[in-house]
A and B are shown apart, each in its own frame.
Chain A
Amino acid sequence: MLQFPGNETPTTIQEVILRLKVKDASKKQVITARKTDSLRHIQNIMRKKGISAVPILEDELLVGMISLRDIITALDKSYINDVAEKHMAKSLIILEDDMPLSYAIPFFDKYSYHRFPVVDKDKRLSGILSSRDILLALLRELNNEIIELEKMINAEPADQLNRIKREFIVKKFDFENAGRASFELKKILKNINAPRQTIRKASVAAYELEINIAIHSEGGILTFEIDEKNIVITARDKGPGIEDIDLALQPGYSTASDWIRSMGFGAGMGLANTKKVSDKFIIESNPKMGSLIQSTINLHPPEESDAA
């Protein structure tokens, strides 16, 4: 099992690792050689194909492996023209393609090999597995898993007004996507029939904070929490923190670079503007922890309920 120090492995990841089999990750197109081929021939194959190990077959059955290290030794000891059979590694550590991937992962720690041949039920070579193949398979699978999870999040019905909570990851300098989270908030507020003014204030606050994370931080998370009374928009980033908060709140003050300005941002109005539309505004920052900015907006303006 994979262990991440200090963190519990989320169940989704555990499931993915347990679900995947060796054959889901292994590379299927394996370049092989015969045991009667010369080491010179195998060296040429390695060079041309850019690989560092070649399984050796006899009648389609795996009988050995020649690694780049074997080739180097052969060159050093001047027996590069010998046949593979004479020098190949014969006692191999082999994986079966139906093994769970979680079973194969510790092999990379246990043995000093960088790759393992994979055989099927009939002991025929079906692939080869390197740590890179495992990483690619895990990434692919996690990617699919996250797409599914995101679908579930988006499918959450908005009419349960007790408490709606959404979280969005905002990446540094990702202007293509910056604004999408705010767009989602606007959609949610429209769905729950929030007053027009409230939608506008919340959209402006969310958008400013979202753009802020993209422009000024190393990336962060934008969270929306909506209950019967308030909309709470929280922007948390990974740093570098705001040096002088009072100065940052001053309209027109900006640390944005020219290219950010050329895209229409960095007018120095973001924080001041967010504060203006907020009914409650909190800002905390320090160079180590990054910044936390929270804007709370009343779902229903007090005047309206009084006047009605």
Chain B
Amino acid sequence: MRPEVLISEVASKVGGKFLHQGNKRFVKWVVASSLMSDILTTEEEDILLLSNLNTVQVVRTADMIGANAIMIAGGKPVTQDMLDLARKLDISLISTNYPIFETCFQLAPLFNQEKK
């Protein structure tokens, strides 16, 4: 079983800024990619979608796989239509200045509780 990690905890670990706070409070895993089709192949549930692509399709893709939160890495500006759709779908949308690798590096320990 994947551990449930609070989205607020995930965000604060990488100095993330909540642009929208959705109704789901936790995530169980992170899928990091900027290729939408790669993301769609995942079978993980309740994920955080980590991407450095800032298009509205990231939010749509997140919705299709039922992601609980989206994090845009590398300080990329989040567009208004992304924000509008995230609000409409009520998916948390977080922005961090850390690039993808650093973000993964910071977040990994949070998701590694089963080995403790």
The answer to whether residues A178 and B37 also contact, given A203-B64, A203-B65, A207-B64 and a CB cut-off of 8 A, is: no
Q: Out of B35, B38, B53, B60, name the residue touching A179 (CB < 8 Å).
A: B60
Q: Does B91 contact A (CB under 8 A)?
A: no
Instruction: List, in ascending order, chain A residues with CB within 8 A of B58's CB.
Output: 264
User: What is the number of residues of chain B that contact chain A, defined by CB distance less than 8 Å?
Assistant: 20
User: Could you mark each residue 71-88 of chain B with 1 if its beta carbon is under 8 Å from any beta carbon of chain A, else 0?
Assistant: 000000000010000000
Interface of A is mostly: helix
Instruction: List, in ascending order, chain A residues with CB within 8 A of B66's CB.
Output: 196, 199-200, 203
Q: Does B56 contact A (CB under 8 A)?
A: yes
Q: Does A204 contact B (CB under 8 A)?
A: yes
Q: How large is the interface on A (under 10, 10 to 19, 20 to 34, 35 or more residues)?
A: 20 to 34
Instruction: List, in ascending order, chain A residues with CB within 8 A of B37's CB.
Output: 208, 211, 265-270, 273
Q: Do the beta carbons of A267 and B36 come within 8 Å of each other? A: yes
Q: Do the beta carbons of B63 and A273 come within 8 Å of each other? A: no
Q: Report the bound CA distance from A264 to B33 in whole Å.
A: 9
| Contacting residues of chain A (243-299) with chain B, CB-CB under 8 angstroms | 261, 263-270, 273, 276
Instruction: List, in ascending order, chain B residues with CB within 8 A of A208's CB.
Output: 37, 40
Q: Report the bound CA distance from A266 to B81 in whole Å.
A: 22
Q: Do the beta carbons of A267 and B38 come within 8 Å of each other? A: yes
In the complex, which residue of chain A has the Cβ closest to the Cβ of B59? A179
Q: Do the beta carbons of B57 and A204 come within 8 Å of each other? A: no
Most buried by A among B37, B38, B40, B66: B37
Q: Do the beta carbons of B41 and A263 come within 8 Å of each other? A: no
Q: Do the beta carbons of A263 and B40 come within 8 Å of each other? A: no
Q: Report the bound CA distance from A158 to B22 in whole Å.
A: 26
Q: Does A76 contact B (CB under 8 A)?
A: no
Q: Out of A178, A199, A200, A266, name the residue touching B57 (CB < 8 Å).
A: A178
Q: Do the beta carbons of A264 and B40 come within 8 Å of each other? A: no
Name the distance in Å between A37's Cβ and chain B's nearest Cβ. Answer: 55
Name the distance in Å between B44's Cβ and chain A's nearest Cβ. Answer: 11
Q: Out of A203, A263, A268, A276, name the residue touching B53 (CB < 8 Å).
A: A263
Q: Do the beta carbons of B55 and A175 come within 8 Å of each other? A: yes
Q: Do the beta carbons of A273 and B40 come within 8 Å of each other? A: yes
Q: Report the bound CA distance from A209 to B40 in whole Å.
A: 12
Q: Does A183 contact B (CB under 8 A)?
A: yes
Most buried by A among B53, B57, B66, B81: B57
Q: Do the beta carbons of B56 and A200 come within 8 Å of each other? A: no
Q: Report the bound CA distance from A178 to B36 in whole Å.
A: 13
Q: Does A40 contact B (CB under 8 A)?
A: no
Top 3 closest pairs, chain A to chain B, by CB: A269-B37, A179-B60, A267-B37
Contacts A/B (CB < 8 Å), 25 sampled? A179-B61, A183-B60, A183-B63, A199-B66, A200-B65, A200-B66, A203-B63, A203-B65, A204-B40, A204-B65, A207-B61, A207-B64, A208-B37, A208-B40, A211-B36, A211-B37, A211-B57, A264-B36, A265-B36, A267-B35, A267-B36, A267-B38, A269-B38, A273-B37, A276-B41
Q: List the interface of chain B (C-beta within 8 A of A).
A: 34-38, 40-41, 51, 53, 55-58, 60-61, 63-66, 81
